[in-house]
Structure 1
């Protein structure tokens, strides 16, 4: 009988892209590996559901050994009777991590034990490595650096890029041969909050967009005011949300504007221009405003592709800080841990 590896996600993130990439690697390279997905939501609003999910995760982790997570789903408290095994964290930069570093920089953060029971941590970037050192106790964890996170590695593979670029061009023919500015936004505005992009002067943005560029977005909020753009710019805009997984766009976009620290981290491995757009006032937006103010955009009308198409020294600094290069396959590195 082969190895049994469990992918545990109890923070309402499901089985993530990074987990799927690792799982695919095992399927191709080690057919003896058996998988089990343990998915729950410990952040459920219903207190009884929340309590039940926490209990399920604790009981599972108490009796099982080899585990892969992308967050603190096994938590800091683990039974002393838990069996020996490999518990691997793929340190994926969700917004709670940016909250931790924002609070740390204010001097208002006490180190957490969230990650202390992981035997191995794939940090993926200098940012993650520094975050662990400042904000989390990991006394017995082996920190594995110099490899990017799994989905970043996949994004940078030529076969993956070509497959998804061709798919998008078939569905949206106007993309073919164009440079692509991807504006990918995540999170929801409060119900009583007005759409900050309702009065955007899109003609101003398109006037600074050369004919060889096209905007692709997943944001319905940006779409609301598109009826006012001039006829000459109609073929320079694509809205794609539910048709495909827009994270695939990160593999072939030429410039990214986002409010997602996760998307920015995935894209950083490609060494292309990245900017942060103010939208929901999430922790990543706050972080970028403090640390990379030259890459922070307060108003969407400030998107100026006469400037943003250049890969500046500030872009380079961001990319190098948020991703190691993708020379070594991180999934292969994770596989070695379980040998």
Structure 2
């Protein structure tokens, strides 16, 4: 354990600012910003307007994710020399989906005093206003925009059983994120969409993922969103996997009734099918059908729908989320064998 004995000469103040309503700007925050020698701001134009509104004339310096390496040494030197510096973001608390973590950590490592001046945070504000369970929640912030990292982050969502999951999303990506949640098998899960928090037109939409998708087919998303996904009652990935091995395996054992009985996957796709069978140890007919659809370029969502229809003909239905996880695993394995990530 390392006891952080700080140097009292300089001090970094991490200051929360309003997320919309200027009346949420605390007297303590205003006083500190007036007294410091410098305000390190994510965007000096936005913070400048805030300071001018309250008659604060402290000098501003830009500090954001693209100039951390350039700015940090000079800021630390000034703090070690006795300066008092405030760190602010465009709105809310610095370090929460905003720049500042590197600055605070560097100060701690250099034994420079750090004082937090609490302020509003969109995630907690939306959680309290949603009425969703707040005893256990997980803040994720912005999902990766695309690629493998996004797919992995989305896949992890299904493991957060019993939690309220909090996401941030930009308006131009909202429809895509809602669609991705539906593909995860979360279409019936309750979701709250909060926007314009603390402002005049503050809005909460409490619905399901599927209903939100339908709503935004005819309504353009506007403003930054906080998405709260109520994962209470959603099974964890490990439980889903065991259900898949049991329920789905019993669905399609009867090869005599399968319309795939005369179709030779091995002939069509070589040894790849046997590798899939060895890897996943699942019933041959379902693997054959899903593999065929995947290699024909169908999306995960479309494969799930096709398998569900195929199962329905045999008077058996597997949960959508269970199918999604299994098909995504199969898809990842197939594309790995080809030396490609493969897009969902």
Structure 2 length-normalised TM = 0.26
Q: Choose between structure 1 and 2 for higher RCO, CA contacts under 8 A separated by at least 6 residues.
A: 1
TM-score calculated relative to the size of structure 1: 0.26
